Amino acid sequence: MKTTSSRSSTPTFSSPSPSVLSETHAASGRTPAPSTSPLQLCADSQSFERWLAAHNVERREAIGCPPELIDVNATGKFDIKIPNALHPPTTNPKADALYEELRNMFTLDDALEDEYGIHKNAYLLCRTYARYKRVMEYSIEAHLRSPIDDIVQHVFEEEGRLHYEEEVAMVLPRRSEGMRRFLGLSSQSTAYIDTAVSGLANYSTDHLTNGLEWEVFDHPELHAIHIRTKACDDANNDDDPHLIALLDLSWEYNMIEGPTVRNQTVLNTAIILLHRQYVDMKSRPLWGFAVCYRTVKFYTTEWEGAVRIVPTFRGDG
């Protein structure tokens, strides 16, 4: 798995041997706690790098904004055009000021259709932006998270093709038993993603035999939702595609920008990529977002041979 970030270095990790683990353990002069949590793992950068190496995860840093995301141009506006008329006149000066502020974030064009739904959702965007502007450095995490989650849920569930979840439990993969014990992680160590969105996909069972088609979904590390369709209930239609939901995007929130929230996001994206492998589905880039007070880091994760690569991009709010 690949991890990319905004700096230019490209560290490469290899899995340590048991003898190296023993020597490292002895040299450190400490015995890891018997029940290290995933959050504690992410807070200890040295331990987290060891975990990445043991699970063939490479973290890289990238420059600029990912091409899949809409960037801000030289004028400070989002690099898209939207319809000129955003809202009907109101008698509320505060509402008018918010709508005007929203208009100033984009390039306006009278001839355009509302391709991005900005016009249709202008009220929601303005109300959410007003809540976000009230977030201060001393605010609690919930105040930062709530307006963003409202937008995420609205955008990704509007057409019914994506599934929104909060506090999603993710069992850590157990690819290196020696490293797991060395780091003090239990066999059922579970991380929790603040916010996640799953994409719906057709899943064909025609390559599975012996009536065990759905045992794949009993994998202890897999978070997937099997959505019942006619194919599930029709005994004569076992080869038709079934519908499942697999995690595609994740968000982690923290008021303080630091390595812990970044490592949590890398951990999330690394685990999510494995889920597609568990159900033998084609890999593609998956996204993670580390949201802090006025800063965001974007992560994409994809396979490069047997290595998971996580690129990192930085965005300032």
Phi, psi angles (nearest 5°) of residue 310: -120, 105
CB atoms within 10 A of CB 32: 17
> What's the CA gap between 129 and 218, in Å, rounded?
41
Helices (H), 37-90: 38-43, 45-54
> What are the domain boundaries of the chain?
2-64+141-316
Q: How does pLDDT run across 48-91, given as a tens digit for each residue?
A: 999 988 888 888 777 666 655 665 666 667 777 777 776 666 67
For residue 235, count other CB atoms closer than 10 A to its CB: 5
Nearest to 309 by CA among 8, 7, 13: 13
Q: What is the pTM of this model?
A: 0.75
pLDDT tens figures, 264-281: 999 998 888 888 777 777
Residues 174-190: tens digit of each pLDDT:
777 888 888 898 888 88
For residue 134, give the amino acid letter.
R
State how far the Cα of 4 lies from the Cα of 275, in Å rounded to an integer.
20
